[in-house]
Structure formats: structure tokens, C-alpha cells
Amino acid sequence: MRKLLTVVFAATVALVVPALPASAAGIDWSPCFDGSKVECATVQLPVDWNQPDGAKVGIAINRIKAAKPAQRKGALLVNPGGPGGSGVDFVISAAAGNYFSQSILDSFDLVGFDPRGVGQSSSIKCDRAVLSQPVELIPTTEQQYTDLLARNSAIAQDCAKHNAGLDSHVDTESVVRDMDGIRAALGEEQISYYGVSYGTQIGQQYAELFGSRLRALVLDSNMDHSVQSSGYLTAANKAFENSFTDFAAWCDRTASCALHGQDVLALWDKLYAQASAGKLIDPATGQALSVEALRDNAFGNMYHPSDQWAGLATRLAALAGTGPQTVSAQADLVDNSYQAIWCSDWRWPEVGDFASLSKLREDVEALAPHTHFSGFFSDITNCLGWTGPVQSPQHRLNVTQAPPILMTNGLHDVATPYEWATNVAEQLPDTVLLTYDGTGHGDYGNSTCARDAIDTYLLTLARPAPGTHCAAEWPTGTAPQTGPHPVTRVY
């Protein structure tokens, strides 16, 4: 049975946390499971970092000690993305050899944590009935827009009833201060950090507030927390369109693709039109498949081409009536659990009325004639009408004390568009951006070249030369080619 032991860390706000607090040795680690080499604990940190002596929230943490203590280089804190991804689960998976190279496991204490409001760190709970109110997340009428705002307001108020005030303090800056509290409780003067997807936003803001406490910083597949709604959706829509056309081109040249020899874009456009008209029947269920489900299924299958593209092709062939009709329905990939965190970090005043949102919808759809809308359109609309505080809104980074940084990003990353990475790189000092010339999301898991560069940097602090590119790697067969991957989606 899993054990969680607790250390109380009663520090002042993190800007004045001492490098080596008296409580550093107070974490009472215990095996997460009987016989497990992964150790678990809980660190108690302030709900509101502006009131450090007030209510506390338990942050679940775990670690794998360096396999070769003689070559230990310190603690490597990790975050797999989300918001909503569990760092605790990430480390458990890594302990089984499912992510990091053995050289990393040999040389670092790998430390995971569930960010506040996630998983075992007081996961935000809201009423299922309120969450499931049907609304259009891409509204096309004034009434749909009004209904959306009312739904979001109701969710915010319901979440506030069930979470003892934590829902107002799940922003990224609070998570960053928690991370520094964990560093101090570990007794580490400096840490190394690897974050992928939303985990890069945590890493960026940690560098902004606590840069001198970093030994190394890897930002894999980058969020840009400085963009507004138009820039956000413009990049996201183009990224989905580019990724899907990469998928179509792969099918065209790959004999094992279930759609090989067909015009994949034309087939997709036909399926999209049928779904939009309510006339696309899912052979696995006999029920009509909504255009949202069709689009989100394709979007979610852009993350890890080697694992997902063959299955997506088979799925689309079945929907088109040209493939096996026994394909099991895939789970709906829309995930609303991140809403409280996301809406604590992002403010969208430019689309504060239906006319403004409608204009943005038309502008970004024109950029993606096949895919129409990124799955991230709801990142905007899920926060319209949200009544909770935006504690950590968008801003350009101001980093002054960080070590040399390594960023990586895929050229056709569907979830974190390449232009976000180039924009962030301009905001960070002494940063090398390594470009993976392929698609997918999470370069450590999609590119052997990027993984080698990240490992080398973490171990030696040596970075590739500025302007370095890694060649694209494409699926080679129909079976999933399982490699190391973070959480499936950024949201």
C-alpha cells in the first residue's frame, strides 16, 4: 500500500526562503509501495504564499535516488506537462525505464511532484453535473456565447465550494514557489529541471523568480505565456494544419498506412463535412460522431506519430468505410480537469464579447482549411466568464540570474507551436534552441538526436551549437513503436 509521509515546511514567501533551511533533513521518505525503489513523502506548503503562516496544502513528492551515488550530480526535478499531469506518476514510470536514459537515472536523484490542485496534491474537485452542462466551445451564435459564459461561471462557483479556497491559488507562480519550497526541503542549494509542454511554463517562471537556484534548465516543447488570444490561436491552428498535412504526406509515402494510395486530405474533408452535418456514423457504435469528437481525435493523435499515426489511419479508414468495421471507439480526448489552473494563468480581454470572438474564430479558421480549429480553441473559451482570480496572467519573461539554458521544440509540434519557442528564446538570456525538424509533441520522446542532446546537457552542461537541427523521425510500420513520452496532452 502506498505511503505518504509528511514534512511541514513553514517558510516565508519563496523569495526569501533560505538556501538550506533547518527542515531540510526533515523529509521522512518511505517506499511508495512495498519493495519499491521509489520513495514518497508529502511537503506541507502555504496555500497562499502571501500568507505563509496560513493554511497549508500537502504537495505529494517522490524520488528515485541516483543509481550510481559516486557520480551523483544532484536533484533533477521533472514535470510532464498538463496542466494536470502528475509528476509523481511520471517518476514512477521513469523508474520502470519508460522515459529517461539510464545515464540520467545513474547520475541524478529524480524528483517528481504533483502540482497543487493535481493528483495527490489536493486535486481540484467540481460537481460532475455542473461540468457536464452541454455548451458549444466554439460558439457561432450570441446565445451559444451567452450559454458558454454562464456555464463557465457556474463551474467556477461550484469549484470554489468544494476546494477550501485552493482553487484560487493553483496558478503557475504558486506552483513555482512550491517547487522552490521542495528544493529547500530537499536541502539542495541548486536543482536541475526538466519540463515538457506545460512543464516548460513552470521552468520558465522558476528561472524568472529563482534563476540562481538552477544548475541546469531543459525546456522541451515550449509554452509561450506572453501571447494574447489572436497570437495563441493563430499559432495553434497553423500547427494542427501542418501536423495533419505531415500525417497525410506520411500516408502517401508509407505502404503500411491504412490510407495509402488515397487522397487523405480529400477523405478527411469529406468526413469533416459529414460530421458537421450530423451524418457521420461511427461503425464501432452505430451512432453519429460529432465534428468535435472527430477533430479532437485527430488532434490528440498528432502528439506521438510513432505510436499513434498508424492507428489514426485505421480509424479514419473505418469511418470512411474503406477499412475494418470492428475498430473500437477511442476515448474522447477532451479533458476539462485543467480548467481551474489554466484560467488562473490566462486572461483573454480581447474576446470579451461575441463579436470579437466571432471575428477571431473566422480569422483562425481561414488558416486551417482542412483541420479548421486546433483543440486549443477551448483554452480561450473555457475561461470566458470564469469568475476565479487570474493570479498569474500573461507577461514577458524577465530572467536575470539563470544558468545557460537548453530549449528544444519540434518544427511542426501540434501542441506547442515552434513560433512560441522562438518567441520565448528571445525572452531568455544565454539560451540555445535545438530544433527538431519533425512533428509530434515532446522532443525527448520523439527524437533520438534531441534526447542525446538533452542527456549531454544535463550531465555535462554542454549544449549543442546555436542553430542546431535534429532530423525528423517518421513511423516505419503499423505497430506502435513505443518510446518515452510525457502526458498525452497539454490540456
Average of per-residue pLDDT values in the chain:
90
At 86-136, the pLDDT tens digits run 999 999 999 999 999 999 999 999 999 999 999 999 999 888 888 888 999
Q: Cell 505531415 appears where?
A: 246
Determine phi and psi for 382, rounding to 5 degrees: -70, -15
DSSP assignment of 133-160: ----SS--SHHHHHHHHHHHHHHHHHHH
**CATH 2.40.10.10 for the 60-122+178-224+395-470 domain, yes or no:** no
Q: Over 80: is that where the pLDDT of 478 sits? A: no
DSSP assignment of 27-58: ---EESSTT-SEEEEEEEEESSTTSTTS-EEE
Q: H/E element holding 434?
A: strand 431-439
Give the whole-number percent of the chain exceeding pLDDT 90.
82
Say whether 234 sits in a helix, a strand or coil. Answer: helix
Q: Over 80: is that where the pLDDT of 7 sits? A: no
Per the model's pLDDT, the better-predicted residue between 50 and 34 turns out to be 50
At 309-353, the pLDDT tens digits run 999 999 999 999 865 544 444 433 223 458 999 999 999 999 999
CA–centroid distance for 132 within its chain:
23
Query: What pLDDT score was predicted for residue 358?
Result: 98
pTM (two decimals): 0.90
Of 399, 396, 357, the residue nearest 379 (C-alpha): 357
At 234-271, the pLDDT tens digits run 999 999 999 999 999 999 999 999 999 999 999 999 99
Cα separation, 323 vs 272, whole angstroms: 17
Residues 112-149 as b/e (b if ≥16 CB within 10 A, e otherwise) read bbbbbbbbbbbebebeeeeeeeebebbbeeeebbebbb
Query: What pLDDT score was predicted for residue 331?
Result: 33
Strand-pair partners of 312? none
Label residue 484 by pLDDT band (50, 70, 90): low
Cα separation, 491 vs 85, whole angstroms: 9
Listed range (55-69, 89-103, 305-319, 474-488) with the worst mean pLDDT: 474-488
Say whether 295 sits in a helix, a strand or coil. Answer: helix
Label residue 35 by pLDDT band (50, 70, 90): confident
Q: H/E element holding 317?
A: helix 305-320
Cα separation, 38 vs 67, whole angstroms: 12
At 127-167, the pLDDT tens digits run 888 888 899 999 999 999 999 999 999 999 999 988 989 99
Please give the single-letter amino acid code of residue 473: E
CA separation, residue 115 to residues 18, 122, 124, 388 (Å): 22, 9, 11, 18
CA separation, residue 200 to residues 78, 113, 448 (Å): 10, 15, 20
Within the chain, all domains assigned CATH 3.40.50.1820 are found at 60-122+178-224+395-470
